[in-house]
Amino acid sequence: MSATDSPVSSNFIRHIIAADLAVNKNQGKVATRFPPEPNGYLHIGHAKSICLNFTLAAENNGTCNLRFDDTNPEKESIEYMEAIERDVQWLGFKWAGKYHASDYFEQLYSYAVQLIEQGDAYVDSSTPEQMRADRGSLTEAGKESPDRSRSIAENLDLFTRMRAGEFADGQYVLRAKIDMASPNINMRDPTIYRIRRVHHQRTGDAWCLYPMYDYTHCISDALEGITHSICTLEFEDHRPLYDWVLDKLQTPCHPQQIEFARLQLEYTIVSKRKLLQLVTEKHVSGWDDPRMPTISGLRRAGFTPEAIRDFCERIGVTKNDSWIEMGVLENCIREDLNERAPRAMAVLRPLKVVISNWDEAKTETYHIANHPQKPEFGSREVSFSKTLLIEQDDFMENPPKDFKRLVAGGEVRLRGSYVIKCDEAIKDAAGNVIELHCSIDPATLGKNPEGRKVKGVIHWVSEQHSVPAELRLYDRLFSHPNPDTLNNFLDGINPNSLDVLSDCRVEASLLNATPDTCYQFERTGYFCADYVDSTPEKLVFNRTVTLRDSWGK
RNA sequence: UGGGCUGUCGCCAAGCGGUAAGGCACGAGGUUUUGAUCCUCGCAUACCUAGGUUCGAAUCCUAGCAGCCCAGCCA
């Protein structure tokens, strides 16, 4: 709904594709790919890329592949691959084909041999330190390695033996022979193969030689017939290398690399290294902690795929270095959930209310609408009895002037029920209000009282008809708008990012709540049953987002 | 200070030589048995700056200024 209904505005990539289609470039085909490295969980920044690639393809009757960029087995794992597939599917996308860079290892190797034969690559024995020194600086040209002039025959022999495992890790690398004086450092004879005896999650121990990203990515794109290879801005400087490799080789096609600005969201981080650190150091409960900006964290918090897709469409696609306010994401989920979430009543911090003019044994049951604007949502039964529970915050002894809830001697509407009047506040020895004695106006069920106006409406549950629940109130993980700018990003962590309320009472209809359904607990926020911890015996709800509150207390 | 890229409302963002879309935020009203939702209205004589070309410039030219990215055998 929200994802497909939101106005689609143009962006520079849509323009490029439209222009290409207009001149029948690539035979009018559009083929994209989403190329994650399986070294962590997908986050909201990936969602932007996923939505971009998949929708661009879909809009143009094209295809979008899922391709794992698994060229660095040291950091990658099957667990991450499975999580990535799950998250992409959950977001609502279907890939045309699922591939791995490792599927192309053999072809990549042949192409490398070809480069050597053409005199476009050489085996270098420089140490990493030496290579760094020889690379020059931003303002000075680099120095050529002595090995740069090695004969083709010798390069071929050495490269064959590198693959055969005759050398130690790091002893040799294969380098593209380009230009050590290039103003673009990526063109100063970049390494394209390194020796690394690491077990690969898919190819096992078949290889001790692994290709580098720059060399692998462009060829993988070409082999898959990708037309538009969309990536983030930091790869802009790599485009000449992308094109150089494909120009040197006879690949099936030469995709066009297009770069866009990665998502930057206030009060969060999306560095995989830092997200991993949050997990391993237990600052959060896991990759799917509801405070994590990961797709799985957002899902567990109660976000919907539609809201995330809507968000990705709203923030746009440009090359600008921009920061998105959290409010934009929050607005997307509120807007979606306002439409689809059934309403219910939950009391977070209960305060006992005894109705003095109500019989102990009497119970009344009402049908309350599940959605105020959508009758098709139906209704559920809510019981009323002598002892009720309301929110502690909804009663004040010394209220500010504009307080429109319950006060001593005042009246308030119980949502879906009677208007009650507070006759007396009972306190404990310390002076805390522990119970209220109230009386109902029997003439106010389903109609307004005569001769006076009752402004306030509060939520409530019947003590004996409600059930206990734990509510986890999540807030943003960081209190600093840009934790990355801190010396230690952990210093930006919000110490109050989680408030666990274990003595909440919710209406009995919530007993069969499942994580698939997000509820609006009226006047408090949107909540979703926790898929890990919630059971009928012990209900646990996660707060997705609060309701907008213009009272600003 | 080499190379690449970017500068339109508080935050995003359309615009592509014909006289500043839209969203979020914010402000003012209205409806409401959620201080929610919904509705109405308001919100850039102005497009980083300075010159220039033009009948006409955010859009073209020139010169500045500011910010981001790059020196992994990471992606």
The predicted model gives A235-242 an average pLDDT of: 98
Whether residue A350 contacts residue A389, with contact meaning beta carbons closer than 8 Å, is answered with: yes
Grouping H, G, I as helix, E, B as strand and the rest as coil, residue A322 is coil
- What is the mean pLDDT of the segment spanning A177-195? 98
Indicate the pairing of strand A364-369 with strand A343-344: unpaired
Angle at A181 between CA A179 and CA A183, to 5 degrees: 105
Task: Name the active-site residue from A14, A25, A37, A335.
Answer: A37
pLDDT in tens, A74-132: 999 999 999 999 999 999 999 999 999 999 999 999 999 999 999 999 999 999 999 99
Helical ranges in A27-151 per DSSP H: 44-59, 78-90, 105-117, 128-134
CA–C1' nearest nucleotide, residue A131 = B73
A172, pLDDT greater than 90: yes
How many CA atoms lie within 13 Å of A382's alpha carbon, on the beta-carbon side?
Answer: 23
Quick one: pLDDT band at residue A551, thresholds 50, 70, 90?
confident
Q: What are the strands, taking DSSP E only, across A159-250?
A: 173-176, 191-195, 209-211, 228-232
The model carries a pTM of 0.96
Q: Is the pLDDT of residue A518 over 70?
A: yes
User: ipTM greater than 0.90, yes or no?
Assistant: yes
Mean pLDDT across A216-242? 98
Catalytic annotation present for A98: no
Told to judge if A334 belongs to the known catalytic residues of this protein, a careful annotator would answer no
Summarize chain A as % helix, strand, coil (round to 5). 35, 25, 40
Confidence of residue A553 (pLDDT cuts 50, 70, 90): very low
Backbone dihedral region of A131: left (phi > 0), alpha (psi from -120 to 50 degrees) or beta?
alpha
* Arithmetic mean of pLDDT, A321-334: 97
Query: Which CA-bearing residue is nearest the C1' of B32?
Result: A372
Span CA (A318) to C1' (B61), Å? 25
Nucleotides of chain B touched by protein CB (<7 A): 1-8, 10-16, 21-25, 32-38, 67-75
Tokens of A391: 């929110």
The DSSP 8-state label assigned to residue A423 in this structure reads E
- pLDDT of A8 reads 66
Closest nucleotide over all strands to A419 (CA to C1'): B33
pLDDT of residue A447: 93
Distance A17 CA to B56 C1' (A): 32
- Reported confidence tier of residue A326, pLDDT bands at 50, 70, 90: very high
Q: Give the nearest nucleotide to A239, CA to C1'.
A: B4
A456 C-beta neighbours (distance < 10 Å), count:
16
State how far the Cα of A178 lies from the Cα of A523, in Å rounded to an integer. Answer: 64
Name A420's bridge partners.
Answer: A412, A440
| Whether the predicted pLDDT of A4 surpasses 70 | no
Among the listed residues A163, A262, A274, A380, the single catalytic one is A262
A413 is catalytic: no
Token readout for A511 is 């007993």
What is the pLDDT of chain A when averaged over all its residues? 96
Q: Please identify which of the residues A272, A291, A413, A421 carries the catalytic annotation.
A: A272
* Cβ contact A317:A430 at 8 Å: no
What is the tens place of the pLDDT at every residue in A531-547? 999 999 999 999 999 99
